Amino acid sequence: MRRAVALAALGLGRTSPNPVVGCVVLDADGEVAGEGYHRQAGGPHAEVHALRAAGDRARGGTAVVTLEPCSHTGRTGPCAQALVDAGVARVVYAVADPTDQAAGGAEALRAAGVAVEAGLLAAEAERGNEAWLASVRLGRPFVLWKYAATLDGRSAAADGTSRWITGPEARADVHRLRAEADAVLVGSGTLRADDPHLAVRHGADGDVRQPLRVVADTAAATPPGARVLDGAAPTLLAVAPGADTSRLADAVRAGRAEVAEVPRAADGRGLDPRALLAELHARGVRSVLLEGGPTLAGAFWAAGLVDKAVGYLAPALLGAGPAALLDAGIDTVGDALRLDVDDVVRVGADLRLTAYPRRPAAAGRASARSAAPGNSTTERPVTVPATEES
């Protein structure tokens, strides 16, 4: 199962709006006969790839899958039936499929005489498929907040300069996060200050799927020459109702951007984060990488809409300048947003810290690291162990 989880991670960034899934087929003697993972939306599922690799050796064997095999016909056939047709005698899966459409695979397998077991390494499998599972359960995209800061929490110097707080290895790692996300989101302040490109460039292979670049641009103030309007990746400019979008007309006509109206927040400052996520979800976005800036991040934290945080901490001090997070609705230390650290990894000269918000439903549950492959030969784990569950 742990191998299946690692295989599933190979599909990150390519399967949305479908989940990432890995499968290992063992023959009747318990030897590995075939492996597979869901490579892209619309393509064969993990079980099909693994069964093709196993061939006749699958008969009488065991299929180990990270997600309950589906029982419906969409762009591909039902995996439960494929397992039955291949003569698999036993199926072990980690996580039950939470969708109404695809659930029921376990029942279909049992009805066909296949032995079925569930829950093996469920925590690890859930972590590896966290974005898709959250989007299904919450009805909105999974939000990962990424930030870079000095050890004293500054995201830029007093004069506004921020390039570069972290080193090249950390910046390359951010492109991995972009490649795994459906959308990358920034606010208009970050756009004006940094003119970010937001597309995947470093370390991306030729078939990378570029994320949707999204700018929360309440007043439609994006400059016509902004790098996000270069056509290198799809771009959505979210503006408030009635905003003057005339300066964006050329980019829209040329197909380099789309404009969508999103309601303002209740306090009138900026856009409503929930409405923005609803707009993105309606467009098929299941995961959002929230890259900046501190005001937009604060609004998402205040609304309880951040599901994961990844911070890149540089061994540097500025002593002044903007903080990485602003106005998250906290007035006293007793109301601080507490997070559970999942891991700390050295990336080049910097530290990458991954943490999850503490929520009542998750109290007392041990966290498990994602089984995604290592990202860089420069990474060295720090002794902050994660607990493995089975």
pLDDT digits (tens, 9 = 90+) for 260-314: 999 999 988 899 999 999 999 999 999 999 998 899 999 999 999 999 999 999 9
In what helix (H) or strand (E) does residue 111 lie, and over which residues does it extend? helix 105-111
Q: Is residue 198's pLDDT more than 80?
A: yes
Residue 368's pLDDT is what?
35
Verify that 190 and 287 share a domain, yes or no: yes
Domain boundary among 129, 147, 166: 129
Residue with tokens 């540089």: 314
In a domain, 150, yes or no: yes
In a domain, 281, yes or no: yes
Verify that 125 and 146 share a domain, yes or no: no
- Is-contact 33 58, C-beta < 8 A? yes
Instruction: Give the domain range for residue 273.
Output: 139-381
Residue 363: CATH number of its domain: 3.40.430.10
Residue 100's pLDDT is what?
78
Residue 378's pLDDT is what?
36
Query: How many structural domains does the chain have?
Result: 2
DSSP letter, residue 386: P
Label residue 128 by pLDDT band (50, 70, 90): very high
> What is the C-alpha to C-alpha distance for residues 57 and 27, in angstroms, rounded to an integer?
5
| Per-chain mean pLDDT for the chain | 88
Sheet with strand 22-26: strands edge to edge: 32-37, 22-26, 62-67, 90-95, 115-118
In a domain, 387, yes or no: no
| Average pLDDT value for residue range 5-20 | 94
Residue 359's pLDDT is what?
75
Label residue 342 by pLDDT band (50, 70, 90): very high
Give the pair of three-digit tokens for residue 206. Answer: 């030729």
Q: Is residue 364's pLDDT more than 50?
A: no
| Average pLDDT value for residue range 227-248 | 94
| Average pLDDT value for residue range 27-51 | 96
Domain boundary among 129, 153, 180: 129
> What is the C-alpha to C-alpha distance for residues 81 and 63, in angstroms, rounded to an integer?
13
Region class of 120: left (phi > 0), else alpha (psi between -120 and 50), else beta: beta
Verify that 119 and 148 share a domain, yes or no: no
Residue partners of 225: CB distance under 8 A and separation at least 6 = none
* Active site residues per annotation: 47
